[in-house]
Amino acid sequence: MFINSLAAFFAFTSFISPIETGLILLVTAYSIYILTPAKTKNYPDFNSLTKNDSSSIYMYIQSAWLGRQSLTSAFFPFFIIFNSALLYADYRSSNGTYSIASWLTILVILALPVFWWTISVWRCSIHANRLWASAARFFTVAVYYEYILRLIIGYYYPQIWFNCQQLIMEIGDCI
């Protein structure tokens, strides 16, 4: 996350500076930490909620959505899959085998799982320490920042990652 998109913005555009980016991320992290509740006894016992919910992938998805998984089991699998998909799409686009439309299609395909992941992490974070819950919530919000940066690249700066002479499939892809 932010590996290729921020590096491209800093190197090839003057759209945003590293200081502005750092300030935005710090304000976001602080806001999320303030809004994350401390672990209290008002929530149901975590051990009573987790009853062999990982018997199938569908039960895992449902139990994570309902907040019945631990934070690590709700956060890390999708975080790894999401970042791997983004790195793969960036690798394919840098080699000239993905067009702008294909690259944006990956973002559309990942949009609904990102929504599920955000809700799952938010609900499962009540079982974790405030610091770890804040960190997990920050990374879910950072995914939306990543989406915004990638959409800006796709629509306003496609020449950064795409060879416009080879990849013009639609009128106006690389203007």
Nearest CA to 149 among 102, 90, 78, 109?
Answer: 90
At 67-107, the pLDDT tens digits run 999 999 999 999 999 999 999 988 888 887 887 888 889 99
Q: What is the residue type of 124? A: C
Q: Give the residue-averaged pLDDT of 157-165.
A: 74
Query: 102: Cβ–Cβ under 8 A, 6 or more apart, which residues?
Result: 92, 93
Q: What pTM value is reported for the model? A: 0.83
Q: Which of 46-50, 52-56, 107-111 has the highest mean pLDDT?
A: 107-111
Q: What local confidence, expressed as pLDDT, does residue 169 receive?
A: 53
The better pLDDT of the pair 2, 145 is held by: 145
Q: Give the residue-averaged pLDDT of 29-51.
A: 72
Helices within the chain (DSSP H only): 3-12, 18-35, 46-49, 57-65, 71-94, 100-124, 130-156, 164-167
CB 56 within 8 A of CB 48: no
Domain boundaries, the chain: 71-174
